[in-house]
Amino acid sequence: MKFVHLSDLHIHGDDREDQAIADTLNLIQTRCPEHYVLVTGDITDDGDEGQYEKAAELLSPFSGRLFLTCGNHDYGKLGNFYDEERESRYAALEQKMKQPKRVKQLYSVDFGDEVKLIVLDSNLRTESPLDFACGQIEDEQLGQLDKELASSHKVKIIALHHHPFIHFDPTMKLLDADEFLAVCSGRTDAMLFGHRHKQDVWANRSGIGWLTASGRTADEGAAFEIIAENGRITVGSMPLR
């Protein structure tokens, strides 16, 4: 079973501005017709209605094998400050893309006896400028995550938008990162995220097998390929040029 990890598409709703990400998505569609596609947030640039329409157009070829989570730009007026109307537009995109139904702000998908995918909403619903671009999992979602991780002996993959441990910029941090990692530690085979526009990978950190940070997909020369096979996760690189 193979997944390709993308993030931070920042679709603008303008053909010229979106050409690079459109070309990248077309390349993935051609090269990876059987891969599942995971997009860890910032699908749109600021949650504008036209941007969501363009996102649905560009992502529709992956219908049936596409899994999305939201980023601060998807819910964010001017790209960051939370706006309820923009969140409702993201919910409409989820329905259009036939995403699984959320339970306590997360959804999980079981792939036979092999893999459980858990997708989180790490957005912080606040209009305070002090919380600019920050994230939070919060207690209710953490409790549901704990149940999901305890419910299966399958390989487990978690996807979210916010970076769980590198917080050089206090305006972009996951506020309850320590609590979140404590729930995941020792029970998570791979964790996928984006947000910082810096691509990187770690093995065996915080009790998690693999962690992949996707950069801004249109700017990267490669994406991460996550392979689940024989009860193990391996991480490889997939060229995007």
Question: Tell me: the pLDDT tens digits for 173-222?
Answer: 999 999 999 999 999 999 999 999 999 999 999 999 999 999 999 999 99
**CA distance to 144, 206, 230, per residue, from 40 (Å):** 19, 20, 25
Closest CA to 60 of 91, 25, 34: 25
Per-residue confidence band for 170, with pLDDT thresholds at 50, 70 and 90: confident
> pTM for this structure?
0.97
Q: With contact defined as beta carbons under 8 Å apart, do 193 and 39 qualify?
A: no
On average, the pLDDT of the chain sits at 95
Ordered strands of the 232-239 beta sheet: 66-69, 36-40, 2-6, 222-229, 232-239
For residues 97-122, average pLDDT: 96
CA distance 101 to 107: 6
